[in-house]
């Protein structure tokens, strides 16, 4: 009877309120429910589990992606669930994947796991990575707050490591990394904990700390076993980190050789540590010096860490799940976990499985239980003398049994909505249809949520929103299916109660963690991204709010933040906004950010809601110089001759800065520059590129001789990154060696460096020679040079492929396209190792163009490390405005590239032509109304090089363009004359009465008129003028001048309707309208008034007075006739008073008119009424 009353009371409440909550906690099985792992992940919702059955899964695409939170992806058995890929496949946790669990899977055949930036709080556990081939190993962690434990990484063959740890604040525990060809673990990030791992037999090093361009500080590394590696630990970078800890952060109790101790513990270094243990406590007596100045392990272990905690000895076995309720025909996958005496999970433990009652169910060697009859049985996992058990109950009854198993209300506060999560389990052996979950608070209905269905043996979290009315202890009761919609096997377990404590409402406290403009730099000539990092240090969550961003040079924007939980920071990716302001190098810009400027939140402390940073605008040297106020690869020489260009590197090679030297020679043989016997050297130029000038060698400690003659450089081109790490000088010297060059003989250049050990790397030396010889074809040769360091990498260096571009415009001569036989473009690109980079010539594009072919390794002496590309561009050639672009595009593997642009040569070969040209032309139109615009096109033959157009045949040359445009404004008939010329003569074509122009109008001149808006306002005042002239004018001229002056008129537009911005002042406006029949002008004086704006009122006197304030205000009066002297009187009648503490008299005098005459005003005042006036200043 009591249950019936409860149902009725709830039914009455349901008439008033209907709530819904998301359904969570489903299990999606592969391949039972979905044919592929990706399909199951795509179908899953937050809170679901993707169960992967035993089998080998070969990826059909390059990767598996997870981009949603709170998924569990688990294999049925680690050794039998295998994911492989024929190419470099990847299991990626994208930025939307938080709190993901990835467990019990073997990855092999090029597969790897990648945790993307922005993803966080994931668990990767009990997985195996066999023979990963990716350069950063089988596991790459690029985000924060992840746990990586109990994994095995074996046989990695990538260039860098078995595991790459680039993120911050991660826990890396109880993993085994062994038998790799490089490093076991490479650490790029900071504040990570690396403990209880084994790094064994890795060829390069057990642990690599990568500080070159990264900040791997504050990492804690202890209780690890590091043996058999190429080096126990090493660093990459010129400056090793200084705050790595190689011992435990606090004392640890342990047992060694049967004796208990407590102390700080380091790592086991195997044979690399030769210290003694005189006290026998298992801790070395002397510190172990970590290689590469990485610090000291002050408590090195004398044995692997497992020997100190019962490690290596199986102590307990845990079977999961501990209980299982099945129906006949059902299955349950059990897993066993072996742990040592410290409770640490052990890897490589195998189990023997058994069922105590095989009439109820059987279990195979992999732990898969099959229910065959009703009853109970015990499942046991055994290894030697150690075993663990789980209980199984099998029933025949086919009916659902809905049971609320848990109520979670978080930390509720009075007056604030909170989410109550009720966990419901269907313990029956039949699926359940739709039902409700109802929430009672102290017996009062507080909400409900609908569940559409729940499969047998599945659980689901049901969310119900509840707003506590008051603080204190509250009894919450969850009732499943209070309406009795489901026929269940057991209705006595449909309610669950718990008591929660409701706190007094707290307050948020929002404060800045950081204000970061574009990677902590403001770059010139591009928009900059401004990012904020905010934390709520208060005791209450806060909803959505705004952050205002204001820069000192005018940008004002708003970032919308969705909300921040108490004690948490904003979610990744961090909120940001793009500031589109384009700035110049050297400017200073202040950026001020204010949290919640509208005061929309109940922030407990607003004093910490504002932060300001000041940044100097810099050029990003990895961009092309058009983005950094630098120079293109400009044309330095143009040669029009019968001759050619030859170039060679001789025996030059790349030399690393680590090589000590003070003098070095480069030789060219006669065969390097084969010249005709009759050749005349027009110019010889030597190019010396360099990079990584760590000791500023090239700024004043470098010199060069050519054929024994000391030379000053002709040009010194430089470039550098300009910010952050790797900010080292790059550049190129250019020498004019024309006088010293020996024709058809050996030539030698000697390089001198003042200090042998000063570091600078030089590439191959290019010697280019332009010669003239009558036997050669006629050629036009352009030599362009500069030096531009390009690095396309948006994530690290904020440089897009388009921005990593150097341009080489070819100027100084016009190309005769009719005579071109061939056109060769030669581009010289130091340090292009690919193939990589993109070449663009007049909008034609080629990809992966340059490859110097050398190894690129430090100390290389076999190659120049300068790539040269030569190709025919005659199909894309223009008469003028030819331009090449060298772009740091991706290489053949799709990686970003770093290369330099230094030279571009363009060689045009002409066919011989000895005939004078024959003039001819066409026009796109030969008749029409004035104004008539005519496009004339030259159709002359014989390769003319000059053109002279006379559009009225009046003897006056109107244009020298090859193809010209002329506008006829007056009606009439016109004869057109074109004269063309080349080196062999000239010719003229005269077309009589070729163009006929009619008036096309009314036969009347226009009558000018206009309107404008606005006529007054604050400066700068933007005014729009509208033509209102009659009789169809065809041309307009708008002019202005300051009112009341005789200044010249200033034209500001020739459009029919014009817009112009006026500075402060008054202006006259004049419009002249014209057509074929004449023109007319209209003038408006004192027409536009642009005000400088009001000034702020200033406080001139204040204080405390006794009494009152009298104000006598009187209207204005006129002085009367202009240019005369007038006297005006005003009497003030004050109320009775006993004392005047202060008094002020205000007069406003102004003059109206259009001239510039000067007037004066004198004010005299009789304050005591005695008839005597004092003149006021």
- On whether both 462 and 550 belong to a single domain, the answer is no
- On whether both 49 and 150 belong to a single domain, the answer is yes
CA distances from 854 to 664, 859, 1174 (A): 20, 11, 96
Does residue 679 carry a pLDDT above 50? Answer: yes
Q: What is the C-alpha separation between 1173 and 698, in angstroms, rounded?
A: 82
pLDDT confidence of residue 1122: 47
Question: What tokens does 332 get?
Answer: 């349950």
Per-residue confidence band for 9, with pLDDT thresholds at 50, 70 and 90: very low
Does residue 1153 carry a pLDDT above 80? Answer: no
Question: What tokens does 381 get?
Answer: 């996992």
Number of structural domains in the chain: 7
Does residue 479 carry a pLDDT above 70? Answer: yes
For residues 908-924, average pLDDT: 88
pLDDT confidence of residue 1115: 55
Last residue in a domain, options 618, 641, 669: 618
Domain containing residue 50: CATH number? 2.160.20.10
Does residue 1000 carry a pLDDT above 80? Answer: no
Query: Cis link prior to 564 (omega < 30° from 0)?
Result: no
pLDDT confidence of residue 239: 79
Domain containing residue 971: CATH number? 2.60.40.10
For residues 549-554, average pLDDT: 94
- On whether both 354 and 221 belong to a single domain, the answer is no
Q: What is the C-alpha separation between 271 and 262, in angstroms, rounded?
A: 25
CA distances from 367 to 54, 353, 381, 383, 1089 (A): 12, 6, 8, 13, 91
**Per-residue model confidence as pLDDT tens digits over 404-440:** 999 999 888 877 889 999 999 998 878 999 999 999 9
Residue 1147 lies in a domain: no
DSSP letters of 317-352?
EEEESSEEEEETT-EEE-EEEEE-TTS-EESS---E
- On whether both 704 and 581 belong to a single domain, the answer is no
- Contact between 770 and 643 under an 8 Å Cβ cutoff? The reply is yes
Domain containing residue 420: CATH number? 2.60.40
pLDDT confidence of residue 258: 82
Using the CB atoms, write b or e for 855-888: b if 16+ within 10 Å. eeeeebeebbbbbbbeeebeeebeeeebbbbbbb
For residues 650-666, average pLDDT: 92
**Per-residue model confidence as pLDDT tens digits over 47-65:** 999 999 999 888 866 789 9
Q: Residue 1030: phi, psi to the nearest 5?
A: -105, 175
Domain containing residue 853: CATH number? 2.60.120.1200
- Contact between 550 and 522 under an 8 Å Cβ cutoff? The reply is no
- On whether both 880 and 926 belong to a single domain, the answer is no
Does residue 1 carry a pLDDT above 70? Answer: no
Does residue 219 carry a pLDDT above 90? Answer: yes
**Per-residue model confidence as pLDDT tens digits over 710-740:** 999 999 999 998 888 778 999 999 999 999 9
Per-residue confidence band for 89, with pLDDT thresholds at 50, 70 and 90: confident
**Per-residue model confidence as pLDDT tens digits over 521-540:** 899 988 999 999 999 988 88
Question: What tokens does 67 get?
Answer: 């981009």
**Per-residue model confidence as pLDDT tens digits over 565-615:** 988 888 878 889 999 999 999 999 999 999 999 998 888 888 999 999 999
CA distances from 237 to 163, 206, 833 (A): 19, 17, 22
pLDDT confidence of residue 860: 35
The rounded mean pLDDT for the chain is 87
- On whether both 821 and 952 belong to a single domain, the answer is no
Q: What is the C-alpha separation between 955 and 960, in angstroms, rounded?
A: 14
List the one residue out of 769, 774, 771, 704 whose CA is nearest residue 732.
704
CA distances from 284 to 253, 258, 276 (A): 16, 17, 6
- Which residue has tokens 């994994």? 151
Last residue in a domain, options 482, 505, 528: 505
| Maximum alpha-carbon separation in the chain | 131
pLDDT confidence of residue 106: 93
Across 273-282, 824-833, 1135-1144, least confident range: 1135-1144
pLDDT confidence of residue 206: 95
> Which CB contacts under 8 angstroms, 24+ apart, belong to 62-66?
62/87, 62/88, 62/89, 62/90, 63/89, 63/90, 63/91, 63/92, 64/37, 64/38, 64/89, 64/90, 64/91, 64/92, 65/38, 65/41, 65/92, 65/94, 66/41, 66/92, 66/93, 66/94, 66/97, 66/100
Does residue 892 carry a pLDDT above 60? Answer: no
List the one residue out of 898, 947, 945, 903 whose CA is nearest residue 921.
947
Across 17-31, 525-539, 954-968, least confident range: 17-31
Per-residue confidence band for 658, with pLDDT thresholds at 50, 70 and 90: confident
By three-state DSSP, how is residue 239 classified? coil
pLDDT confidence of residue 807: 97
How many angstroms separate the first and last alpha carbons of the chain? 102
- On whether both 515 and 481 belong to a single domain, the answer is no
Residue 735 lies in a domain: yes
Residue 1171 lies in a domain: no
Greater confidence (1117 vs 462) lies with 462
Residue 752 lies in a domain: yes
pLDDT confidence of residue 28: 94
- On whether both 719 and 600 belong to a single domain, the answer is no
**176-178/81-84 β-pairing:** unpaired
- On whether both 560 and 532 belong to a single domain, the answer is yes
Per-residue confidence band for 310, with pLDDT thresholds at 50, 70 and 90: low
Q: What is the pTM of this model?
A: 0.42
pLDDT confidence of residue 249: 93
Residue 868 lies in a domain: yes
Per-residue confidence band for 914, with pLDDT thresholds at 50, 70 and 90: low
Q: What is the C-alpha separation between 534 and 170, in angstroms, rounded?
A: 21
Question: What tokens does 16 get?
Answer: 């008033």
Residue 787 lies in a domain: yes
Using the CB atoms, write b or e for 931-946: b if 16+ within 10 Å. bbebebebebebbbee
- On whether both 981 and 848 belong to a single domain, the answer is no
Percent of the chain clearing pLDDT 90 (strictly above): 63
- On whether both 861 and 898 belong to a single domain, the answer is yes
Residue 113 lies in a domain: yes
Across 219-228, 318-327, 1015-1024, least confident range: 318-327
| CA 171 from centroid of its chain's CA atoms | 27
Question: What tokens does 796 get?
Answer: 């690290």
Query: Cis link prior to 321 (omega < 30° from 0)?
Result: yes
pLDDT confidence of residue 4: 27
Residue ranges making up the domain that contains 1052: 1010-1091
pLDDT confidence of residue 67: 95
Across 13-22, 48-57, 267-276, 1157-1166, least confident range: 13-22
Residue 183 lies in a domain: yes
- On whether both 838 and 733 belong to a single domain, the answer is yes
Last residue in a domain, options 910, 940, 969: 910
**Per-residue model confidence as pLDDT tens digits over 1088-1102:** 999 877 555 666 677
């Amino acid at each position: 009877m009591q249950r019936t009353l409860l149902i009725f009371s709830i039914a009455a409440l349901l008439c008033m309120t209907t709530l819904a909550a998301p359904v969570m906690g489903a299990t999606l099985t592969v391949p039972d429910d979905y044919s592929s792992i990706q399909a199951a992940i795509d179908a899953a919702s937050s809170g679901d589990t993707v169960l992967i059955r035993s089998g080998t899964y070969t990826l059909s695409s390059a990767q598996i992606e997870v981009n949603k939170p709170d998924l569990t992806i688990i294999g049925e058995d680690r050794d039998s669930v295998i994911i492989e890929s024929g190419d470099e496949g990847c299991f990626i946790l994208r930025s939307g994947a938080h709190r993901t669990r990835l467990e019990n899977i073997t990855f092999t055949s090029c597969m790897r796991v990648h945790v993307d930036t922005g993803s966080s709080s994931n668990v990767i556990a009990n997985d195996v990575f066999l023979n990963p081939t990716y350069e950063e190993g089988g596991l790459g962690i690029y985000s924060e707050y992840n746990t990586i434990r109990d994994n095995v990484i074996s046989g990695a063959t990538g260039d860098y490591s078995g595991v790459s740890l680039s993120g911050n604040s991660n826990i890396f525990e109880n993993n085994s990394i062994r038998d790799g060809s490089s490093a076991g673990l490479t650490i790029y990030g900071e504040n990570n904990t690396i403990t209880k791992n084994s790094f064994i037999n890795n060829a390069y090093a057990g642990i690599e700390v990568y500080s070159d361009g990264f900040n791997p500080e504050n990492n804690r590394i202890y209780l690890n076993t590091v043996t058999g590696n190429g080096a126990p630990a090493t660093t990459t970078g010129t400056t090793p980190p200084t705050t790595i800890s190689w011992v435990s952060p606090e004392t640890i109790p342990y047992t060694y050789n049967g004796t208990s101790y407590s102390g700080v513990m380091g790592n086991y270094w195997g044979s690399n540590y030769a210290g003694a243990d005189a006290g026998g406590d298992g801790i070395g007596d002397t510190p172990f010096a970590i290689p590469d100045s990485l610090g000291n392990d002050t408590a090195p272990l004398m044995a692997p860490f497992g020997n100190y905690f019962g490690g290596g000895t199986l102590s307990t076995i845990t079977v999961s799940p501990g209980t299982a309720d099945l129906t006949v025909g059902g299955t349950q996958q059990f897993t066993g976990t072996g742990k040592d005496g410290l409770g640490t999970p052990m890897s490589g433990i195998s189990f023997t499985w058994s069922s105590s009652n095989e009439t109820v169910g059987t279990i195979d060697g992999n732990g898969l239980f099959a229910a065959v009859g009703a009853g109970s049985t015990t499942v046991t996992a055994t290894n030697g003398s150690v075993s663990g058990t789980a209980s199984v109950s099998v029933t025949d009854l086919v009916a659902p049994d809905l049971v609320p198993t848990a109520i979670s209300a978080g930390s509720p506060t009075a007056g604030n909505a909170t989410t109550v999560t009720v966990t419901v389990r269907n313990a029956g052996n039949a699926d359940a249809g739709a039902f409700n979950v109802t929430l009672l608070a102290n017996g009062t209905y507080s909400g409900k949520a609908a569940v559409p269905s729940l499969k047998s043996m599945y659980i689901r979290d049901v969310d119900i929103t509840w707003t506590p009315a008051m603080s204190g202890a509250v009894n919450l009761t969850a009732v499943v299916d209070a309406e009795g919609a489901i026929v269940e096997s057991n209705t006595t377990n449909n309610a669950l109660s718990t008591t929660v404590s409701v706190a007094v409402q707290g307050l948020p406290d929002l404060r800045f963690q950081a204000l970061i403009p574009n990677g902590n730099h403001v770059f010139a000539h591009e928009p900059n991204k401004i990012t904020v990092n905010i934390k709520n240090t208060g005791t209450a969550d806060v909803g959505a709010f705004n952050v205002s961003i204001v820069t000192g040079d005018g940008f004002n924007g708003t970032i919308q933040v969705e909300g921040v939980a108490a004690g948490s920071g904003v979610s990744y990716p961090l909120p940001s906004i793009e500031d589109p302001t384009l700035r110049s190098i050297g400017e200073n810009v202040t950026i001020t950010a204010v949290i919640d400027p509208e005061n929309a939140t109940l922030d407990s402390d607003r004093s910490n809601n504002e932060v300001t940073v000041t940044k100097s605008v810099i050029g990003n040297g990895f961009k092309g110089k058009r983005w950094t106020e630098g120079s293109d690869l400009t044309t330095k020489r143009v040669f029009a001759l019968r001759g050619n260009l030859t170039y060679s590197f001789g025996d030059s090679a790349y030399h690393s800065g680590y090589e000590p030297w003070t003098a070095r020679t480069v030789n060219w043989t006669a065969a390097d520059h084969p010249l005709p016997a009759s050749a005349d050297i027009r110019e010889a130029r030597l190019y010396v590129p360099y990079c990584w000038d760590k000791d500023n060698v090239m700024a004043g400690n470098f010199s060069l001789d050519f054929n024994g003659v000391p030379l000053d450089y002709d040009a010194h081109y430089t470039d550098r990154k300009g910010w952050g790490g790797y900010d080292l000088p790059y550049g190129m010297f250019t020498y004019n060696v024309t006088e010293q060059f020996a024709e058809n003989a050996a030539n030698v250049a000697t390089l001198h460096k003042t200090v042998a050990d000063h570091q600078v790397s030089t590439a191959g030396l290019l010697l280019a020679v332009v010669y003239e010889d009558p036997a050669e074809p006629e050629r036009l040769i352009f030599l362009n040079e500069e030096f531009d360091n390009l690095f396309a990498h948006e994530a690290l260096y904020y440089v897009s492929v388009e921005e990593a571009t150097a341009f080489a415009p070819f100027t100084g001569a016009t190309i005769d396209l009719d005579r071109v036989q061939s056109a060769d473009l030669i581009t010289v690109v130091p340090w292009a190792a690919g193939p990589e980079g993109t070449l663009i010539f007049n909008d034609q594009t080629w990809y992966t163009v340059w490859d110097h072919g050398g190894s690129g390794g430090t100390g290389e002496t076999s190659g120049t490390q300068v790539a040269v590309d030569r190709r025919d561009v005659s199909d894309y050639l223009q008469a003028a405005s030819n331009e090449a672009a060298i772009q740091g595009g991706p290489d053949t593997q799709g990686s970003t590239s770093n290369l330099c642009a230094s030279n571009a040569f363009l060689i045009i070969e002409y066919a011989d032509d000895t005939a004078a040209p024959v003039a001819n032309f066409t026009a796109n139109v030969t008749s029409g109304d004035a104004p008539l615009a005519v496009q004339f096109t030259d159709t002359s033959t014989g390769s003319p090089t000059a053109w002279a157009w006379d559009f009225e045949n009046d003897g006056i040359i109107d244009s020298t363009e090859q193809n010209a445009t002329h506008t006829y404004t007056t009606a009439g008939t016109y004869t057109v004359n074109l004269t063309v010329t080349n080196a062999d003569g000239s010719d003229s074509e005269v077309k009589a009465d070729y163009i006929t122009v009619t008036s096309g109008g009314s036969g009347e001149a226009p009558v000018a008129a206009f309107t404008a808006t606005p006529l007054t306002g604050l400066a700068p005042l933007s005014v729009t003028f509208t033509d209102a002239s009659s009789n169809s004018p065809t041309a307009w001229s708008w002019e202005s001048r300051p009112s009341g002056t005789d200044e010249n008129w200033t034209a500001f537009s020739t459009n029919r309707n014009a817009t112009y911005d006026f500075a402060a002042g008054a202006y006259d406006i004049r419009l002249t309208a014209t057509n074929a029949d004449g023109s007319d002008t209209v003038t408006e004086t004192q027409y536009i008034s642009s005000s400088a704006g009001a000034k702020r009122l200033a406080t001139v006197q204040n204080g405390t007075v006794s009494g009152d304030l009298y104000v006598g205000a009187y209207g204005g009066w006129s002085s009367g006739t202009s240019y005369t002297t007038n006297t005006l009187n005003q009497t003030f009648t004050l109320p009775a008073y006993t004392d005047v503490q202060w008094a002020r008299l205000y007069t406003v005098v102004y003059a109206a008119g259009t001239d510039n005459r000067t007037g004066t005003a004198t004010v005299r005042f009789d304050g005591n009424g005695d008839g005597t006036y004092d003149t006021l200043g």
